[in-house]
Structure 1
Amino acid sequence: MIVGVGIDVVEIVRFAESLERTPSLRTRLFTPAEARLQPQSLAARFAAKEAIAKALGAPAGLAWHDAEVVSAPSGRPHFELRGTVRSAAAALGAGTVHLSLSHDGGIASAFVVLEGRVPDDAL
């Protein structure tokens, strides 16, 4: 059962310019592991953080660092949720978070699907 869907797109050059203009933005938005990445990867991760917030219904008080995008050895991205984002996902009944990232043509994009458990009485 799908309990939330979110999508976001980010213009890579504009995002990179924002990071240059405001260096503290990098540490405010990203964990130390994420912050070491190249601008196109950061733009995609920012889009992912925005997309999960949308999938959760954009509740107030979400912390940027509580939705860390990590890559499996295969390269497949996924979230490590903690704190505020984990609590919001649990409140919706989201058991699985699906994430897809892309960057092409100067645009980074992310798509998030929150999947919940089907209640036993619905079967």
Structure 2
Amino acid sequence: MIIGTGVDIIEIDRIKKAVERTKSFMSKVYSENEMLLFREKGMRMESVAGNFAAKEAISKALGTGIRGFQLKDIEIVRNGIGKPEVNLYGRAKIIAELKGVKSIHVSISHSKTDAIAFAVLEG
């Protein structure tokens, strides 16, 4: 059963500017595993923006937006073939459990200027 869906699109330059302007942006938004992945990919801003969009899409699918938990509580990693996988922590995990979420599917894509993500929560 589908519990929720969410979509988000963001301008890659907006994320790039946030990274450049705010020293703490990366550590407030992304987990250590995500930052390691970004470093391995050469800090490509389309990847950073794609993960941001995925976090926003998941928060919308949860029905909360970014309320009651931190973006860092939603971790987007990749499996062996590059497919995005989601790990939830803290309050985001509690909210998902209370809503009966059993699995989260996310798709991320980008153009030269924008990153987009779509999330489906199943129970």
- Structure 2 length as normaliser, TM-score? 0.88
Please tell me the residue identity of whatever aligns with 1:33. Answer: N
Question: 1:10 maps to what in 2?
Answer: 10
Distance in 1 between residues matched to 2:8 and 2:68, nearest whole Å: 19
Question: 1:90 maps to what in 2?
Answer: 97
Q: Could you tell me how far 1:35 is from its partner in structure 2?
A: 2.4
Q: CA RMSD in A?
A: 1.2
Pairing 1:1-123 to 2, within 5 Å after superposition: 1-36=1-36, 37=38, 38=43, 39-58=45-64, 60-116=67-123
Q: Percent identity, please.
A: 41
Please tell me the residue identity of whatever aligns with 2:111. Answer: D
Distance in 2 between residues matched to 1:14 and 1:72, nearest whole Å: 27
Stretches of structure 2 that go unaligned for 5 or more consecutive residues are none
Q: Could you tell me how far 1:21 is from its partner in structure 2?
A: 0.9
Question: Deviations for 1:53-105, whole angstroms, at most 9, x for unmatched residues?
Answer: 10011163112221100000110001011221111111111111011011113
- Structure 1 length as normaliser, TM-score? 0.88
Q: Could you tell me how far 1:48 is from its partner in structure 2?
A: 0.7
Please tell me the residue identity of whatever aligns with 2:78. Answer: S
Q: Which runs of 4+ in 1 moved over 6 A?
A: none
Distance in 2 between residues matched to 1:108 and 1:67, nearest whole Å: 17
